[in-house]
C-alpha cells in the first residue's frame, strides 16, 4: 500500500506542478517542474517551523524511494527507448561517427579532465580527497542527460543537424558513462592493486558491446513480430514488452540496459521498419503511447529531482565547491569536444560554433544524481552529492533557459 500511496502522491504532484507551469510559467516542462518542486520543498522547509507534518510526509516519500534503482534500473530504459524511437534515424546515420566519438572518447576525456582539475581545486579550498574519488565524480558528471536534453532542445530551435549530434551523443554517452563510473567505482572499492586492465576491457566489452548486440536482437525480433500482424493494440503491447523483457534480460546478463534500449528504439523507430512493419494506425498509436510514457515519467522524474534536496547535507564549503565545479565542467566539456569537432567539421558540414552550442546544450540531469547517490560515505558521498545537485540545477535551469537564445544569437551572426 505504501508504494501505491507514494506513486499516487508523485503523480498528483507532477500533474499539479505541470498544470501550474503550463498555465502560468509557460516554461519547458523539464525546467518548470524542477523550479516549482524546489520552491515547493523550500516552502515545506519554512512551514516546518510551525508544523512538521508536510515535511515528514515529503521525507517519507524520499526515504522510501531508492532513486538510483528507480531511475537506472527502471525508468531509464523506458525513457531512452521513447527518445530513440523519435530520433531522426537517417540524420543519425549520417552523423554516426562524430556521435560515436563524442559518446565514447569525449566522455572518457571529460572524466579525466574533470577529475584532475577538481582534485586540485578541492585541495585549494581545504578538501583532502583522493584522486580516484575525484575521477568518480568526473565519471558521473560527464555524461549529458538525454532526458533533460530531449525535453529542452525541442523548444530551443536548434538546427536539425546539430540537434541530432547532441541528442545522439546523449542517448549513447549515458550508457558509456555508467560503464566508466562502474569501472572506477570498482577500482576505488577494491584498490588498483586488485584490479587488472583486463578487467576493464572485459567489463567494457560485456556491458557496452553486449548491450548493443542485445538491442540489435531485440529490435530485429520486434520488427519481425510487428511485420507479421496488423493490430495496433497488440503491436503497442509488443513494444512495451520489448522494453520490459529486454531490461530484465540485460540486468540478468550484466549488459548495459540503456544501450540495449537505445539500439532497439532506433531500429524500431527508423523509417524502413515503420514503412514495412507498421500501418498508419499502428505508427500513430505506437508514437502516441511512447510520447505519453515519456511525458509521464519525465514529469515524475523531475519532481523527484526537485525533492532530492531533502537528502543533501548543505555546508558552506560544499556549496562553494559546487559553484566552482560549474565552470570547470563546462570548460572540460568544451575541451573534450574540441578534437572530434575539428576532425569531422569539414567532412560533415558542421553548424558554426558547434562546440559552443554543444557545450552549453549538454545538460546534466537525473543520471548524474542517481550515480552520486550510489557513492559510499568513504567516497565523500555528501560532498559530491551536493556538488552534483548544484551542477544539475544550474545546467537544467540556467543552461536550459538560455540555450535557445545562444542558438539564435549564433545563427543571426551567420
CA 336 to chain centre: 18
Residue bearing cell 493494440 = 233
pLDDT at 66: 86
What whole-number percentage of the chain has pLDDT above 90? 56
The whole-angstrom separation of Cα 98 and Cα 346 is 12
The whole-angstrom separation of Cα 395 and Cα 308 is 16
C-alpha distances out from residue 146 to 30, 170, 256, 410, Å: 12, 5, 16, 23
Residue 306 — φ and ψ, nearest 5°?
-60, -35
pLDDT confidence band for 414 (50 / 70 / 90): low
Are the C-beta atoms of 6 and 65 separated by less than 8 Å? yes
CATH number assigned to the domain comprising residue 191: 1.20.1530.20
Does 23 fall in a domain? no
pLDDT at 208: 87
Give the chain's mean pLDDT. 90
The whole-angstrom separation of Cα 196 and Cα 82 is 37
- pLDDT tens for 214-262 read 999 999 999 999 999 999 999 999 999 999 999 999 999 989 999 999 9
Are the C-beta atoms of 67 and 308 separated by less than 8 Å? yes
The whole-angstrom separation of Cα 131 and Cα 120 is 9
Does 137 fall in a domain? yes
Does 286 fall in a domain? yes
Residue 65 has pLDDT above 90, yes or no: no
Does 243 fall in a domain? yes
Residue 97 — φ and ψ, nearest 5°?
-70, -50
Are the C-beta atoms of 274 and 283 separated by less than 8 Å? yes
pLDDT at 94: 83
The whole-angstrom separation of Cα 239 and Cα 235 is 6
Are the C-beta atoms of 344 and 98 separated by less than 8 Å? yes
pLDDT at 353: 87
Quote helix, strand, coil % in the chain, to nearest 5.
85, 0, 15
Does 50 fall in a domain? no
Print the domain residue range for 302: 67-413
Does 300 fall in a domain? yes
Burial code (b: 16+ CB inside 10 Å, e: under 16) for 294-310 equals beebbbbbbbbbbbbbe
Q: Is residue 400 exposed (0-12), middle (13-18) or buried (19+ Cβ within 10 Å)?
A: buried
- pLDDT tens for 313-358 read 888 999 999 999 999 999 999 999 999 998 887 776 777 888 998 9
For the CA atoms of the chain, what is the radius of gyration? 21
- pLDDT tens for 78-104 read 999 998 998 877 888 888 889 999 999
Does 12 fall in a domain? no
Domain count, the chain: 1
For 201, the grid coordinates are 576491457
- pLDDT tens for 279-303 read 999 999 999 999 999 889 989 999 9
- pLDDT tens for 179-222 read 889 889 988 887 766 666 677 777 778 888 999 999 999 999 99
The whole-angstrom separation of Cα 248 and Cα 254 is 10
* Cα torsion angle, 316, 107, 339, 172, sign: negative
Read off the DSSP letter of residue 86: T
The whole-angstrom separation of Cα 252 and Cα 290 is 25
Does 302 fall in a domain? yes
Residue 19: Cβ within 10 Å count: 10
Residue 376 — φ and ψ, nearest 5°?
-90, 165
Of 154, 108, 140, 136, residue with least CA distance to 337: 108
Amino acid at each position: 500500500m505504501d508504494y501505491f500511496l507514494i506513486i499516487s502522491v508523485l503523480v498528483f504532484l507532477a500533474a499539479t506542478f505541470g498544470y501550474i507551469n503550463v498555465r502560468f510559467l509557460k516554461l519547458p516542462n523539464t525546467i518548470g517542474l524542477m523550479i516549482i518542486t524546489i520552491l515547493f520543498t523550500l516552502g515545506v522547509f519554512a512551514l516546518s517551523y510551525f508544523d512538521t507534518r508536510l515535511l515528514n510526509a515529503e521525507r517519507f516519500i524520499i526515504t522510501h524511494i531508492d532513486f538510483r534503482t528507480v531511475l537506472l534500473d527502471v525508468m531509464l530504459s523506458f525513457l531512452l527507448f521513447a527518445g530513440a524511437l523519435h530520433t531522426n534515424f537517417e540524420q543519425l546515420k549520417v552523423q554516426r561517427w562524430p556521435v560515436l566519438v563524442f559518446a565514447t572518447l569525449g566522455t572518457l576525456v571529460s572524466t579525466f579532465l574533470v577529475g584532475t582539475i577538481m582534485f586540485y581545486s578541492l585541495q585549494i579550498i581545504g578538501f583532502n580527497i583522493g584522486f580516484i574519488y575525484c575521477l568518480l565524480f568526473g565519471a558521473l558528471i560527464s555524461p549529458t542527460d538525454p532526458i533533460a536534453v530531449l525535453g529542452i532542445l525541442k523548444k530551443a530551435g536548434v538546427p536539425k543537424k546539430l540537434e541530432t549530434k547532441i541528442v545522439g551523443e546523449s542517448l549513447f554517452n549515458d550508457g558509456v558513462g555508467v560503464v566508466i563510473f562502474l569501472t572506477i567505482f570498482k577500482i576505488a572499492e577494491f584498490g588498483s592493486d586488485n584490479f587488472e586492465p583486463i578487467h576493464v576491457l572485459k567489463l567494457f566489452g560485456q556491458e557496452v558491446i553486449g548491450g548493443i548486440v542485445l538491442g540489435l536482437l531485440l529490435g530485429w525480433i520486434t520488427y519481425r513480430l510487428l511485420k507479421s500482424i496488423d493490430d495496433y493494440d497488440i503491436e503497442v503491447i509488443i513494444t512495451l514488452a520489448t522494453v520490459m523483457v529486454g531490461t530484465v534480460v540485460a540486468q540478468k546478463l550484466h549488459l548495459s540496459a540503456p544501450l540495449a534500449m537505445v539500439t532497439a528504439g532506433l531500429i524500431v523507430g527508423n523509417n524502413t521498419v515503420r514503412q514495412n512493419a507498421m500501418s498508419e494506425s499502428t505508427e500513430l498509436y505506437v508514437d502516441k503511447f511512447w510520447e505519453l510514457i515519456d511525458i509521464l515519467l519525465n514529469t515524475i522524474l523531475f519532481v523527484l529531482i526537485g525533492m532530492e534536496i531533502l537528502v543533501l547535507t548543505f555546508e558552506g564549503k560544499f556549496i562553494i565547491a559546487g559553484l566552482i565545479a560549474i565552470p570547470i565542467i563546462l570548460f572540460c566539456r568544451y575541451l573534450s569536444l574540441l578534437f572530434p569537432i575539428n576532425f569531422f567539421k569539414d567532412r560533415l558540414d558542421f553548424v558554426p560554433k558547434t562546440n559552443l552550442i554543444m557545450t552549453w546544450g549538454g545538460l546534466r540531469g537525473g543520471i548524474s544524481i542517481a550515480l552520486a547517490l550510489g557513492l559510499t560515505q568513504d567516497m565523500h558521498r555528501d560532498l559530491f552529492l551536493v556538488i552534483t545537485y548544484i551542477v544539475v540545477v544550474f545546467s537544467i535551469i540556467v543552461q536550459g533557459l538560455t540555450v535557445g537564445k545562444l542558438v539564435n544569437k549564433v545563427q543571426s551572426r551567420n
